[in-house]
Structure 1
Amino acid sequence: MRLPELLSRVPVTTTAQVESFLGSAELKWGKHRRIKVGKVFHNFLCLRCGDQRTFVSGDELDCLGLGDDQVSIDVTLRCTECEASVEAWFLVASDGPIAGQSPHVKVERYTENLRDRAERIDAASGPFADLVKRAQLAYENDLGAGAVIYLRKIFEKVTWEVAEILNIAVKKANGNPRPFAVVLEEVNGIRNIIPQRFSSDGYQLFRELSGIIHGDSTEAEALQKFKPCLQLVLGVVNEVRQDNVVAQAIEELGWNVDVVEEEVSS
């Protein structure tokens, strides 16, 4: 596999053995080198075209040396239709020396600057899209607790907003907020916003998110829990009743689903 093929597959495939792309000469720390290895392709929703488009790089990629086993690669990608441009950045590391023949490399980090010109194909839509994007960006920068803060904010906002629609009080007589668990239970009793698989204890998701934020989990654990928590929060936003994505997310979090199911059936 050539390096551009691996970069084009991110984030689906991040590890592979690739053809030599630096030659035999080491790229020393802090030094730049232009490498002519082929084009990188990524599909985005082009906001100027209003449709899904392929964005492509030039034949040469810009490498920055970070040691004998790591390089930073900056890529500019242009829409093949309107030529709107975006940027992508890859941190590529190898098991051994990254220069030489057929190194085994891994894309350790990937981020992009879409500059309001494009969106990811699977980008969230709707009133909470901006918070989802912020959560995803924090996650991709290894900020586990920071990413989960946005997820809890989404959960809170959707619950408060549905409560207001249903004329459920969100404040006490003295003006202080009512307990979130009480409001959530009343909302869910009228309009099922919690996926049915764990609807008997919808507050468990909030406890999970809050525990991560308040330090009950390490950053590594927070990053590991982010994706299943994201799926569950999006399940609430989309009023998911029951599907395989939600079931898998619950399993990945290690929640006691059997107990929940017994409570539902009792």
Structure 2
Amino acid sequence: MRLGDLLSKAPAREEAQVEGFLNGRGLSWGQHKTIDAGQVFLTFLCKTCGVVRTFASGKKLSCLGVGDRVVSIDACLKCAACGAIVEAWFLVVSRDELHGQAPIVRLERYVDNRRDRASRIGVGAGGFDDLLERAQLAYEENLGAGAMVYLRKIFEAITKQVADIAGIPTTGNNGGRKPFRNLLQEVDEQHHIIPTAFSSDGYKLFSELSEIVHGDSTEEMALQKYRPCRSLVIGIIRNVASDQEMKRAIKDLGWNVTGLNMPISGEAAS
């Protein structure tokens, strides 16, 4: 594997053994070098083309020494069809010497500047995709609590929207807002929106989201719980989108699954 192949898996923070890319010479702090480490290929939704496209870097990458085992890689990627440009930056860390013949390296951090010309590929859920991207970007910036806020908003909103479509009351006997635990249970009993893998932990994970949002957890813990919570939320979106009764109801109401209403601000349920 070449370094470019590893970087093409971004934002996944993977580790792998790659071909040497520094020609046996270390790179001092602040020292710059153009390296031949393979092209980087990342997939985005190109806003000019209106479809998913592969964006490719040039054959050479820009490498900057940051530490004994750390380098910064800059790449400029172009849409294969229209030439729209996306800038990408990678922080790469090595287990041992970076200038070895086959160093074991990992992608420590990835940032892209899409200049509003491209967007990350979502799950085909309209406004939910936007919030999922915001959650992911917050996570990549190590803002665990911020990432969880977006996931919690999606969880709440899609549960309430399914309840509205299914005719399940969202208010309690006294006219106030129904506790989310009760609403989620009723919705899941009728439409099984919680993925099978989380069937016994749906509300538990929501509780963990809430604890983090309300400041009852550390950033480190929020970052650790982000991936399973994101998987749960994406699973719910996909379950709702594939539910035949939901599809019929959404069609009858004149809605579009890819355009479900998703408020970006507003008070979250307790």
TM-score, normalised to structure 1, is 0.74
Identity of aligned residues (%): 54
- SS in structure 1 at match of 2:227: helix
The code of the aligned residue for 1:168 comes to P
Q: Secondary structure of the equivalent of 2:235?
A: helix
Query: Cα offset for 1:72?
Result: 0.9
Which residue does the alignment assign to 2:17? Answer: 17
For structure 1, which segment, 30-39 or 84-93, has the greater mean C-alpha deviation from structure 2 after superposition?
Answer: 30-39
For the residues of structure 2 that align with 1:161 and 1:60, how far apart are their CA atoms?
49
Change (3 A) 1:15 1:181: closer
Q: CA deviation at 1:74?
A: 1.2
Q: Distance in 2 between matches of 1:4 and 1:189?
A: 47
Which residue identity lines up with residue 135 of structure 1 in the other structure? A
User: Which residue is equivalent to 2:101?
Assistant: 101
Structure 1 match to 2:115: 115
Contact conserved, 1:194 with 1:241, CA < 8 A, in 2?
A: no
Structure 1 range deviating more: 5-14 or 132-141? 5-14
Residue in 1 that maps onto 2:229:
229
Aligned residues of 2:76 and 2:86 also touching (Cα < 8 A): yes
- Asked if 1 retains the 8 angstrom alpha-carbon contact of 2:97 and 2:103, the reply is yes
Q: What CA distance in whole angstroms lies between the structure 1 residues aligned with 2:200 and 2:3?
A: 49
Q: Kindly state the Cα deviation for residue 238 of structure 1 after the two structures are TM-superposed.
A: 3.2
- Taking the aligned partners of 1:123 and 1:61, their CA distance within structure 2 comes to 31
Q: Could you tell me which runs of 5 or more consecutive residues in structure 2 were left unpaired when the two chains were aligned.
A: 243-270
1:169 is displaced (CA, Å) by 4.4
Instruction: Name which structure has the greater RCO, CA cutoff 8 Å, separation 6+.
Output: 2
- Cα distance change, pair 167–3 in 1 and its aligned pair in 2 (3 A): closer
Q: Distance between the aligned counterparts of 1:115 and 1:163, measured in 2?
A: 38
Contact conserved, 2:168 with 2:187, CA < 8 A, in 1?
A: no
Aligned-partner Cα distance in 2 for 1:39–1:201: 42
Please give the alpha-carbon distance, in whole angstroms, between the structure 2 residues aligned to 1:20 and 1:49: 36
Secondary structure of the 1:128 match is: helix
1:159 and 2:149 are equivalent in the alignment: no
Aligned to 2:61: 61
Alpha-carbon shift at residue 41 of structure 1 (Å):
1.9
Task: Indicate how the Cα distance of structure 1 residues 179 and 38 shifts in structure 2: closer, same or farther if over 3 A, else same.
Answer: closer
Q: Using the TM superposition, name which of 13-22 and 139-148 deviates more.
A: 13-22
Structure 1 residue 131: deviation in Å? 1.0
Letter in 2 for 1:4: G
Once the two structures are superposed, what CA deviation does each residue of 1:163-186 show, in whole Å capped at 9, x if it has no partner?
445372448868x64433344345
In 1, the alpha carbon distance for the partners of 2:194 and 2:43 equals 33
Unaligned runs of 5+ in 1: 243-266
**Which residue of the partner structure matches residue 168 of structure 1?**
169
Q: Which residue of 1 aligns with 2:145?
A: 145
User: What CA distance in whole angstroms lies between the structure 2 residues aligned with 1:239 and 1:21?
Assistant: 44
Q: Distance in 2 between matches of 1:213 and 1:222?
A: 9
Q: Residue 95 of structure 2 contacts residue 104 of structure 2 at CA under 8 Å; is this kept in 1?
A: yes
Give the match for residue 79 of structure 1.
79
Shift of 1:48: 2.1
Corresponding residue of 1:48: 48
How far residue 23 of structure 1 moved from its aligned partner, in angstroms, is 3.2
- The equivalent residue for 2:128 is 128
Match of 1:256 in 2: none
Aligned residues: 241
What RMSD in Å do the two structures reach over aligned CA positions?
Answer: 3.2
Structure 2: which amino acid aligns with 1:125? A
- Code of the aligned partner of 1:93: V
Whether the aligned pair in 2 keeps the contact of 1:168 and 1:187 (CA below 8 Å) is no
| Within-5 A mapping of 1:215-254 | 217-239=217-239
CA distance in 1, matches of 2:93, 2:200: 45
Distance 1:200 1:240, change over 3 A: farther
Letter of the 1:59 partner, please give it: K
Cα drift, residue 57 of structure 1: 0.9
CA deviation profile, 1:52-85 (whole Å, cap 9, x unmatched): 3222111221222211110111111001211111
Three-state SS of the structure 2 residue aligned to 1:66 is strand
After superposition, where does 1:171-186 map in structure 2 within 5 Å?
177-186=177-186
Equivalent position SS for 1:239: helix
Q: Which amino acid aligns with 1:97?
A: E
